[in-house]
Structure 1
């Protein structure tokens, strides 16, 4: 039994030592925005640090397609905040009025729930705009950095051995 566990453990360690990991942040193009999935949306990272919508909008001012998308994200994000706020207030007032007048309270709670639902729906739309803006921005950044390449050789040493790359741009 111990011999079998030792064999499985040794084989597992050999597999782990020969497996390849994903690219790290320092191997990406400079100023690339990295997307990480999160609850009800994504988290956006630039050089490993979280960025918010205003910072993304500032970075994307020189990229027209991305800037149009991020402006749409900003507008729908503001509308979502209005939906959440108004819906929450109407729902709360309906709950409080419902103790005095059941019919009016139920109607107000229904309207408040619709406002909260609209806020949630607008949040999803805003996340779509942000995702498309980041895709357009990263595409422009890659094209910009590829233009900077010159004719020449590039040497590198990595975990897979020695590399030699020739570029003719």
Structure 2
């Protein structure tokens, strides 16, 4: 953790609560971007971002610096957004063993690396079909460029599990994109 952030936390815990604005300014937009990608509604994301920072502030004394502050904050944001969406979403099932097992990583890479306007639109549409936890994982890895290790800390999961999930989500996106192409 950055020493200056550790100092800011100490000041906040000693009563200088106005210093918490540093964290809002530094991480507010990134937290909002993660949450809006999961919940798909800016209004809800604004509320959940506020909830995230309130939870963070209220729990600041329990921050143990085993991970970076940002990792701890992202965990709170991710869990807040996922809890919110659990009641609302149903998963899109694309698992067909015959198709699933015949897809090569090369096919997936070729499709995902196609930057044509049509392909990007199809990708955006299929991303919105994913359940919130999968959208959150994709957002952390591809958009926020978090490492597998950081995502593991944020989600409290093993790195191997994160790698497997990312691989499966990429396959799922590929299948959904191919189905969209047929429509």
- Fold similarity call, TM over 0.5: no
> Max radius of gyration: which structure?
1
User: For this structure pair, what is the TM-score category when the shorter chain's length is used for normalisation?
Assistant: under 0.3
Instruction: Considering fraction of residues, name the structure with more strand.
Output: 1
TM-score (norm 1): 0.23
